[in-house]
């Protein structure tokens, strides 16, 4: 592995750092963007039952709000339930933006890595080719060993940059779509809960 990195030249180190970031962010997002952590099944019914039995207290409300994104939105619905529905919906939209910001945290970094990795690889290619041409003298003769090292460095950094960029794009698209789906689920559950509040 060290020989591979050394052969690729100095641009292999930032590319290696990008690969570590991809793995770390992907693991974090895979864990964090689970349905059970964002929109637990049956939470809306649980809150409705507590409200119907008049058992909801401040401690329970805080616990539910901290439990999940859906809990945070539903508790805010209860908090501002005395407002006219239009005003409450505007308030919940503001809270939903906060939730979306949290769900998308570090997602843009994946997109950035997907963009810069091929560019770093290309930069390594250019530097490698500069080394190749700098070893060709006026008469056209060259040290074949130095040529081989330069070409190798150029090819390795390009390949490694693409190897990093492809999964970064895949993970970015996947987690971006996952976030949109989760936000849609949250909005649907919140809308149903609002219908319940204003029918009371």
Q: Residues 81-138: pLDDT tens digits? A: 888 888 999 999 999 999 999 999 889 999 999 999 999 988 888 887 777 777 665 4
Pick 156 or 134 by higher pLDDT. 156
- Give residue 101's domain range: 11-199
Share of the chain above pLDDT 90, in %: 48
79 lies in a domain? yes
2 lies in a domain? no
Cα 162 from Cα 6, distance rounded (Å): 18
Asked if 44 and 192 touch (Cβ cutoff 8 Å), the reply is yes
DSSP conformation class of 1: -
- Residue 139 is predicted with a pLDDT of 46
What domain count does the chain have? 1
Asked if 175 and 85 touch (Cβ cutoff 8 Å), the reply is no
Instruction: Give how far Cα 23 sits from Cα of 30, 38, 57, 90, 175, Å.
Output: 10, 22, 42, 37, 13
- Torsion, CA 136, CA 137, CA 139, CA 142, rounded to 10: -40
Question: Backbone phi, then psi, for 139, in 5-degree steps?
Answer: -80, -5
1 lies in a domain? no
47 lies in a domain? yes
| Closest to 43 measured CA to CA, from 165, 184, 200, 186 | 186
| Closest to 149 measured CA to CA, from 1, 5, 2, 9 | 9
pLDDT digit string (tens) for 11-31? 888 999 999 999 999 999 999
6 lies in a domain? no
Q: What radius of gyration do the chain's Cα atoms show?
A: 26
pTM above 0.85, yes or no: no
4 lies in a domain? no
Q: Left (φ > 0), alpha (ψ -120 to 50) or beta: where does 140 sit?
A: left
């Amino acid at each position: 592995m060290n020989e591979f990195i050394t052969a690729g030249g100095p641009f292999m180190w930032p590319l290696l750092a990008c690969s570590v970031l991809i793995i770390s962010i992907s693991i974090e997002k895979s864990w964090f963007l689970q349905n059970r952590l964002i929109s637990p099944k049956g939470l809306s019914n649980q809150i409705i039952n507590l409200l119907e039995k008049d058992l909801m207290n401040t401690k329970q409300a805080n616990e539910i709000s901290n439990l999940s994104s859906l809990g945070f939105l539903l508790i805010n619905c209860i908090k501002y339930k005395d407002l006219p529905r239009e005003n409450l919906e505007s308030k919940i939209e503001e809270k939903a933006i906060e939730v979306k910001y949290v769900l998308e945290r570090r997602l843009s970094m994946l997109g950035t890595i997907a963009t810069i990795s091929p560019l770093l690889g290309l930069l390594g290619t250019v530097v490698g080719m500069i080394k190749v041409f700098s070893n060709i003298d006026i008469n056209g003769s060259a040290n074949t060993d130095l040529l081989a090292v330069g070409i190798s460095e150029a090819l390795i950094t390009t390949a490694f940059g693409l190897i990093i960029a492809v999964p970064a794009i895949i993970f970015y698209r996947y987690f971006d779509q996952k976030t949109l789906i989760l936000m849609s689920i949250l909005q649907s559950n919140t809308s149903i809960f609002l219908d319940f509040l204003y029918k009371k």
